[in-house]
Amino acid sequence: MSIWIGAALVAAVFVTSTISGIFGMAGGLILLGILLALLPVGTAIAVQGMVQIIANGSRAWFSRAWIDWRSLGFIVLGLAAAAIILAILRYTPDLATVCIAIGLMPILVWIPQRWLSLDASRPHQAVICGLVGGGLNLAVGVSGPTIDIFFIRTPMDRRTIIATKAATQVLSHAVKVVFYWNATMVLTPIEWTGILLAAPFAIGGTSFGHWILQRLTDANFRRWTRLIVTAIGIFYLIRGLSLLGAV
């Protein structure tokens, strides 16, 4: 990783952390796409997890007063089950599968509520959220759109949604880093330095995004979340299908 690539990565971390600070997701999707272009799949997923722990951790801290701790506890139960299942299966990701899976995720945010009414504030659905969302985060590196369908239709306001999702993602990304830790052994000292330098920019971007969030209405928050995630999903789907075609 050259100095210029490192600088571009730091800038990407700030921008994507800002996006995540506003919408609670999308930033991680973009950052993973950048990392997949630079690193092996497992390593990219682990590095993205490290950055997202910092970004989501700072977002959870800024919004800690609004975290729904009860829902978070049930989500963690599902996350633990997903980690155990994938560990038993000795799952290993590949680039085409990761891209196609991420590309298909935005379909979930367009499903009418009357077709699939999910609510993370309900204990049994919170467990399912942790199982499915946590499992996808471990399997393909991100799960924002999947987790989003359990939150965006709840009676929670945007601040509670952002805070609880951020806390959920901190734990999910932490498990992901542990799951792919062996893949980080290929990183050079320069690359580790770049990751460390990106940390304050992740916090700065999250803080800026949090400031914008407070000035966004609930209606605009939900509308822009869908549009941005869909655009990112189309990019991933096209890339994944092109990788399959190249085989």
Give me the tens of pLDDT residue by residue for the chain, a chain 247 residues long: 556 666 777 888 888 888 877 776 677 788 888 889 888 999 999 998 998 898 788 878 888 899 999 999 999 999 999 999 999 999 999 999 999 988 888 777 677 767 777 888 899 999 999 999 999 999 999 886 788 778 877 888 878 888 898 899 999 999 999 999 999 988 888 778 878 888 888 888 878 887 887 777 777 777 777 788 888 889 899 999 998 876 5
Closest residue by Cα to residue 226 from 14, 24, 45: 24
**How far separated are the first and last CA of the chain, in Å rounded?**
27
The C-alpha atoms of residue 224 and residue 124 are separated, in whole angstroms, by 29
CA distance 9 to 21: 18
CA angle, 173 then 155 then 133, to 5°: 25
